[in-house]
Amino acid sequence: MFQKRQLRLIYLVILIIVLVLIYKSFTMPKAAEDGDLASGDTMLQPSGAPVQVFVFYETLCPDSKNFVLRQLVPAFERAQELMKIEFIPYGKATTRTKADGSLLFDCQHGPIECEGNIIHACVVEAVHDPHKQLAMVACMIRDNLIPRDAFIGCAKQHGVEIESIQKCYDSPHGEELLKIHGEATHALRPAVSFIPTVTLDGAQNDQKAILKDLFGSVCQVVAGRGPKPDVCK
């Protein structure tokens, strides 16, 4: 019971951090929203701090798959020291609490995507190494049509412990994680209209530019804090 309360407290803290970043995005000056990265909250970040990259995605979304494989992975491999990635698997889903207290999800691409989102949520919670976490998400999202098989295969490929993650997604705990991701997603301002949505230091900025050139967008944020890093030149 104590461990369960500890976990709930950890998830609450994570949710609060996400909501604070989202609130900052909503309250940023218009110049910063329009792409003036020298203005707004990005200036409050230390020049050497990595950019907080929050990826709001869903597991059967072709655009999410394309972004992870063609933008996120190459950008991280090129300049991992500039990025801290946080995955929020949920997308355009909805959450309902039934009379018995259990959770029911409705996902954009159907029940299989809900299952995949829960498994991704459990993986994101369990795998703390940023390289291995990104490798797992990228591996699974390549083919999530059978989410459990995708997880098992990718876990074996990348040396990830399987049993504890299976316990997570086979229990109400996995659903609770997905609910938290849903609350963070629904709290985004501007509200989600396209998946994936990606925030940099809590700001949505120009989503088309971010989704097309994540590395360049991250370099713009970093350059707005101080000298441009050599990797961005």
Q: Average pLDDT, stretch 198-210?
A: 96
- Strands 94-97 and 83-89, by their bridges, are unpaired
Residue 20 lies in a domain: no
Residue 199 lies in a domain: yes
Residue 16 lies in a domain: no
Residue 41 lies in a domain: no
| Mean pLDDT computed over every residue of the chain | 86
User: Would you list the DSSP string of 84-150?
Assistant: EEEEEET-S-EEEE-TTS-EEEE-TT-HHHHHHHHHHHHHHHH---HHHHHHHHHHHHH--SSHHHH
Per the structure, the complete domain to which residue 128 belongs is given by: 51-232
Residue 19 lies in a domain: no
Residue 84 lies in a domain: yes
Residue 30 lies in a domain: no
Looking at residue 77, what is its pLDDT?
Answer: 97
pLDDT tens digit string along 31-77?
A: 333 333 222 343 356 667 899 999 999 999 999 999 999 999 999 99
Q: Please count the structural domains in the chain.
A: 1
Residue 211 lies in a domain: yes
pTM for the predicted model, two decimal places? 0.81
Supply the CATH number for residue 109's domain: 3.40.30.10
